[in-house]
């Protein structure tokens, strides 16, 4: 291994999500193809022993070295994937094995930077590496992360977040976006863009890109909230206000705010804006509608309001979003 190569350790343990483990190395491997020199990454998989590890997909993976051996090395990047369990009601819960958590703590002390993939953020949190930091994880376990670690500022919207030398990624495929961001930091945006094209990702998504759409947020637990959400979807073009929604639900505005906070973890106004942004995203991706028509159809009414909402929610503009994600005819 060349001395200029960056040593990357990806953790392995029973039940780990397979794509969390294999996705980042695929991105890093493409670096050599896109550069003219010998610099790059040396990626290894580390586990407690050298025995094969069975992933959540049932595929067995062989480690390259043990945690103990990795702890003797200077690590450039420690990548921590995650694992979950799903109950009979399809509720997802992130798992944190105490032994893996201890090794995360040890190996983090040897690493220049740390990155979690998907629900791997729960392992970083259990190791105390996210205390006082802003972090993300897969939307399905974001509430669990916030409830178990109140000292962490959990933001379930971005596809990845960087807080100093700690990076956290969101959904499973967001591991590719996170890995591209690491490449961009190390070798520049131009190289990362070429890798993104090799992956047929067209362009790298910015970290502010939302990881989930409104329809797949956690489901409501009451029929009244389900009906209200459907009402919002059907009337996005109308000038809905919190007062309108409260009247439709036959509750006071204060009670409506409490219901939204309990059921969805947000406010009525924030949810309404998210629903409108989601509808606008779909139109920008799939139609040639002008910004004026998109704004009117989605309830923003003016392009300025549409642009401000996109900047708040996605840290981009509608035009930039369309240029990145417009579906080819």
- pLDDT tens for each residue of the chain, 329 residues long: 444 789 999 999 999 999 999 999 999 998 888 776 566 899 999 999 999 999 999 999 999 999 999 999 999 999 999 999 988 888 899 999 999 999 999 999 999 999 999 999 999 999 999 999 999 999 889 999 999 999 999 988 778 899 999 999 987 677 888 898 899 889 888 888 788 878 765 444 555 555 544 444 445 556 678 788 889 988 999 989 999 999 998 999 999 999 888 877 789 998 999 899 989 988 998 899 999 999 999 999 999 999 999 988 887 899 988 887 665 43
Q: What is the pLDDT of residue 198?
A: 80
Please give the Cα distance from 139 to 273 (Å, whole number): 18
Contact yes or no for 162/184 (Cβ under 8 A): no
How many residues belong to the chain? 329
Please give the Cα distance from 306 to 280 (Å, whole number): 8
Q: What is the pLDDT of residue 3?
A: 47
Please give the Cα distance from 302 to 38 (Å, whole number): 52
Closest CA to 46 of 28, 23, 71: 71
Please give the Cα distance from 189 to 197 (Å, whole number): 12
Q: How far is CA 99 from CA 80, 103, 252, in A?
A: 14, 6, 49
For tokens 């000292």, the residue is 151
Render 211-232 in DSSP notation, one character per residue.
SS-GGGSPPPSSHHHHHHHHHH
Contact yes or no for 139/154 (Cβ under 8 A): no
Q: What is the pLDDT of residue 304?
A: 96
Q: What is the pLDDT of residue 300?
A: 94
Q: What is the pLDDT of residue 207?
A: 53
Predicted TM-score (pTM) above 0.75? no
Contact yes or no for 315/297 (Cβ under 8 A): no
Q: What is the pLDDT of residue 204?
A: 47
Render 120-162 in DSSP notation, one character per residue.
GHHHHHHTTSSTTSEE---GGGHHHHHHH-TTSEE--SBSEEE
Closest CA to 184 of 169, 205, 200: 205
């Amino acid at each position: 291994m060349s001395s200029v190569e960056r040593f990357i350790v990806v953790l392995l343990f029973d039940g780990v999500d397979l794509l969390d483990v294999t996705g980042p190395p695929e991105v890093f491997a493409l670096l050599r193809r896109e550069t003219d020199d010998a610099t790059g990454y040396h990626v290894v998989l580390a586990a407690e022993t050298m025995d094969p590890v069975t992933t959540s997909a049932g595929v067995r993976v062989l480690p390259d070295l043990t945690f103990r051996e990795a702890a003797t090395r200077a690590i450039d990047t420690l990548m921590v994937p995650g694992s979950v369990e799903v109950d009979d009601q399809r509720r997802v819960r992130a798992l944190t094995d105490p032994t893996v958590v201890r090794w995360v703590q040890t190996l983090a002390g040897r690493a220049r930077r740390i990155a979690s993939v998907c629900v791997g953020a729960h392992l970083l949190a259990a190791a105390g590496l996210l205390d006082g930091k802003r972090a993300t994880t897969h939307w399905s376990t974001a509430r669990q992360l916030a409830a178990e670690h109140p000292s962490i500022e959990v933001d379930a919207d971005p596809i990845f977040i960087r807080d100093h030398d700690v990076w956290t990624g969101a959904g499973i495929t967001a591991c590719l976006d996170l890995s591209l961001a690491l490449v961009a930091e190390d070798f520049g945006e131009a190289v990362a863009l070429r890798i993104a094209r090799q992956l047929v990702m067209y362009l790298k998504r910015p970290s502010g890109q939302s990881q989930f759409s409104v329809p797949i947020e956690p489901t409501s637990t009451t029929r009244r909230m389900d009906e209200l959400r459907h009402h919002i979807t059907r009337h996005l073009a109308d000038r809905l206000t919190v007062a309108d929604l409260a009247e439709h639900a036959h509750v006071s505005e204060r009670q409506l705010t409490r219901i939204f906070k309990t059921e969805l973890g947000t406010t009525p106004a924030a949810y309404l804006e998210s629903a409108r942004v989601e509808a606008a995203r779909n139109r920008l991706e799939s139609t040639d509608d002008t910004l004026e028509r998109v704004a009117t159809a989605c309830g923003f009414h003016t392009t300025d309001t549409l642009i401000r909402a996109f900047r708040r929610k996605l840290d981009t503009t509608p035009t930039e979003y369309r240029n990145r994600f417009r579906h080819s005819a």
